[in-house]
Chains A and B, each alone.
Chain A
Amino acid sequence: MNESFELLRRMLLIRRFEERCAELYSSQEIRGFLHLYVGEEAVAVGVMAEFGPEDAIVSTYREHGHALARGVSPDAIMAEMFGKATGCSGGRGGSMHLFDASTRFYGGNAIVAGGLPLAVGLALADRMQGRPVVTACFFGDGAVAEGEFHESMNLAALWRLPVLFCCENNLYAMGTRIERTHAVTELAVRAAGYGMPAEVVDGMDVLAVREVTRKALKRIRSEAGPQFLELQTYRFRAHSMYDPDRYRDKAEIAEWKRRDPIDKLAATLRLPTEDISKLDTEITEVIDAAVAFARTASPENVDSLTRHVYSEVRR
């Protein structure tokens, strides 16, 4: 019960954090691009719940939820969204490039599928150094069409590396539905071509996601070799703040919203309404503090933008 309540807390934190980001974007305190994860929270929270502090995470450009679920500080994430020097990437990464080596969160990545070979390298390094850890690699259905997906799946399977490939299938590669982008729309089937076990899981059910991740990690740690999860999910909002969302049927969106992962878990837990409001109040305080932290911090001085193009200790 306590563990499940923690899952709820994390999902709600992500939901409220991003809702606040959307407001701050409208008021232009957050600038640049903003891709929200609203609706997909069960995937990040369910998967990450089974990952330990020594395991590694590789993410996408829709990664606020991954970073929060991983335990990257909400203050540092919000400051990064604001482009402040106290942000987790020093203000240079922004929404799409959250990065925090201390929690082994090896980054959001604006290049679709760009992170997959990085995950292969992290896992190879871990294996060579004899560390019994696993790398979680998140990507969307769109990435499955990229060459880097196939190169990375082959490398990980060939070298039997401890990678959990987490495909967040939200049915749309930006504005184009999966049937228009994939010859084979059952994405888990792709894994079979690389001799890799694969499972399909309801990505709107955090308990199911957690359970399938637990089993997958057990297998990866005991047998070595990667595994593929297709997590079927849906984003409730448009691709980005600029996206008019003309390619999705309103009825479809409404249908998926009825499967809201937060509502689903709350119903399963049969929590009294006051418990949820109390949780909401606590989360609001965390987010208020993060926004205050971000607002009061300074952006990087323009004069120092030429720094760190190259390392500063000459060898």
Chain B
Amino acid sequence: MSETLTLGKALNLGLRRAMEDDSKVILMGEDIGKLGGVFRITDGLQKDFGDERVIDTPLAESGIVGTAVGLALRGYRPVIEIQFDGFVYPAYDQIVCQVAKMHYRSRGKVKLPIVIRIPFGGGIGAVEHHSESPEAYFAHTAGLKVVACSNPSDAYWMIQQAIASDDPIVFFEPKRRYWEKGEVDTSGSLESAFPLHSSKVLTSGTDATVLAYGPMVRVALDAATAAAEDGRKLEVIDLRTLSPLDMGAVFDSVRKTGRAIVVHEAPHNLGMGAELAARITEECFYSLEAPVLRVAGYDIPYPAARAEEEYLPDLDRVLDAVDRSFGW
């Protein structure tokens, strides 16, 4: 059954289905109950599943994540909503010191199937702490898995796959894409869905590879359309999984195109682009016609709303990078 859904609604339906499938799935977060969350991702779930399974919490991110650890130790599959990207930092200690390490520290005896949902990125006219892209902090931490969805169909399936995973997963949601619509085929099973930790080739091309995830996938696709008018065929890959990275399709693509451009909103310095550039260089060195280029946010704190358009990578900056790659 296929229906047209916004990304936000697709997440809502995915959460609902996960809760129907497994009574041990519970949601926790700030204002997620009656209000349905700031972005209404949990809209209606408390009404239908009760306030013991959709738990409104105080403003205590560290306490919430630590509570989730205790719940997971007792067999639950907690799904935490962090209200905005910048609000995750108080919980960083629990995520890095407990969530990421307890499975390893117990040599596999303890499993922590926790999902930490984080709306991330800018583009909604907010300010710092409400527009950040902290994914690299988490991808750097062994023991955590990190994914980012970019469209309604992936949102619907990936959230369910993340909840079904026995590993802790930091789940990034592109907040400015919450209202964008797409076709979602809700039939079929989780097992037959496209695997969670796999990158996906979205447009086939021979001239340059563009790697993106989350909110920047739409920008990369628009760039591919625009480049096609100039006769350049871009291969856009939605990475989807940031830890572990799925490099197979990326290497195949770069060996074919000889050029790679990574696009993300997070700052350049030590962002995901750095790791991707290193890996591509290590594996595809003799295929490269130009260095791997990065189109990223600037190395500044996320700016005020009026400067947001300058900060965020857009169509022009991606096309400019493509030009620079060809000019090498």
**Taking beta carbons and an 8 Å cutoff, which residues of A are in contact with B?**
58, 85, 89-93, 97, 99, 101, 106-107, 109-111, 114, 116-126, 128-129, 147-148, 151-152, 154-155, 158, 300, 307-313, 315
B106-A90 in contact (CB<8A):
yes
Given that A91-B107, A101-B109, A310-B103 are known contacts, is A121 also in contact with B75, CB under 8 Å in the complex?
A: no
Residues of A contacting B75 in the complex (Cβ-Cβ under 8 angstroms): 125
**Taking beta carbons and an 8 Å cutoff, which residues of B are in contact with A?**
52, 57-58, 60, 62-76, 78, 90, 93-94, 97-98, 102-111, 142-143, 145, 161, 164-167
B60-A114 in contact (CB<8A):
no
Q: Which residue of B lies closest to A118 (CB)?
A: B70
Residue of A111, A117, A123, A313 with most chain B CB atoms under a 10 A cut-off: A117
B66 CB contact (under 8 Å) in A85, A114, A128? A114
Residues of A contacting B110 in the complex (Cβ-Cβ under 8 angstroms): 99, 101
Smallest CB–CB gap between A120 and chain B, Å? 5
Q: Which residue of A lies closest to B113 (CB)?
A: A311
B63-A125 in contact (CB<8A):
no
Residue of B52, B74, B108 with most chain A CB atoms under a 10 A cut-off: B74
Residues of A contacting B68 in the complex (Cβ-Cβ under 8 angstroms): 121
B63 CB contact (under 8 Å) in A93, A148, A307? A148
Residues of A contacting B143 in the complex (Cβ-Cβ under 8 angstroms): 309-310
A311-B105 in contact (CB<8A):
no
B70-A121 in contact (CB<8A):
yes
Residues of B contacting A109 in the complex (Cβ-Cβ under 8 angstroms): 98
Residues of B contacting A90 in the complex (Cβ-Cβ under 8 angstroms): 106-109
Q: State the CA gap A313–B167 with chains docked (Å).
A: 10
- A sample of 17 more A-B contacts (CB under 8 A), given A125-B74, A128-B52, A315-B164, is A90-B106, A101-B109, A101-B110, A114-B98, A117-B62, A117-B66, A117-B69, A118-B73, A120-B66, A121-B71, A121-B78, A125-B70, A155-B58, A309-B103, A310-B143, A310-B167, A311-B167
B66-A121 in contact (CB<8A):
yes
25 contacts between A and B (CB under 8 A): A90-B106, A91-B107, A92-B106, A92-B107, A99-B105, A101-B109, A101-B110, A117-B65, A118-B73, A120-B66, A121-B68, A147-B62, A148-B62, A151-B66, A152-B63, A152-B66, A154-B63, A155-B67, A307-B108, A308-B103, A309-B143, A310-B143, A310-B145, A311-B103, A315-B165
B66-A124 in contact (CB<8A):
no
Q: State the CA gap A86–B57 with chains docked (Å).
A: 40
Residues of A contacting B62 in the complex (Cβ-Cβ under 8 angstroms): 117, 147-148, 151
Q: Which residue of B lies closest to A312 (CB)?
A: B108
Residue of B90, B103, B109, B167 with most chain A CB atoms under a 10 A cut-off: B109
Q: State the CA gap A194–B88 with chains docked (Å).
A: 25
B67-A121 in contact (CB<8A):
yes
Q: State the CA gap A155–B105 with chains docked (Å).
A: 27
Given that A121-B74, A152-B63 are known contacts, is A309 also in contact with B104, CB under 8 Å in the complex?
A: yes
Residues of A contacting B103 in the complex (Cβ-Cβ under 8 angstroms): 308-311
B108-A311 in contact (CB<8A):
yes
Residues of B contacting A119 in the complex (Cβ-Cβ under 8 angstroms): 70
Q: State the CA gap A92–B94 with chains docked (Å).
A: 19
Residues of A contacting B97 in the complex (Cβ-Cβ under 8 angstroms): 110-111, 114
A120 CB contact (under 8 Å) in B52, B70, B76, B166? B70
A300-B107 in contact (CB<8A):
yes
Q: State the CA gap A124–B63 with chains docked (Å).
A: 12
A126-B74 in contact (CB<8A):
yes
Q: State the CA gap A7–B102 with chains docked (Å).
A: 32
A122-B104 in contact (CB<8A):
no
B166-A124 in contact (CB<8A):
no
A122-B74 in contact (CB<8A):
yes
Q: Which residue of A lies closest to B59 (CB)?
A: A151
Residues of A contacting B105 in the complex (Cβ-Cβ under 8 angstroms): 89, 92-93, 97, 99
Residue of A91, A125, A312 with most chain B CB atoms under a 10 A cut-off: A125
Smallest CB–CB gap between A305 and chain B, Å? 9
Residues of B contacting A121 in the complex (Cβ-Cβ under 8 angstroms): 66-74, 78
Q: State the CA gap A158–B73 with chains docked (Å).
A: 21
Q: State the CA gap A118–B110 with chains docked (Å).
A: 14
A92-B104 in contact (CB<8A):
yes
Q: State the CA gap A129–B69 with chains docked (Å).
A: 16
Q: Which residue of A lies closest to B197 (CB)?
A: A314
B70-A122 in contact (CB<8A):
yes
A106-B73 in contact (CB<8A):
yes
Q: State the CA gap A300–B105 with chains docked (Å).
A: 12
B108-A118 in contact (CB<8A):
no
Smallest CB–CB gap between B242 and chain A, Å? 14
A125-B76 in contact (CB<8A):
yes
**3 A-B pairs with least C-beta separation:** A121-B70, A117-B66, A90-B107
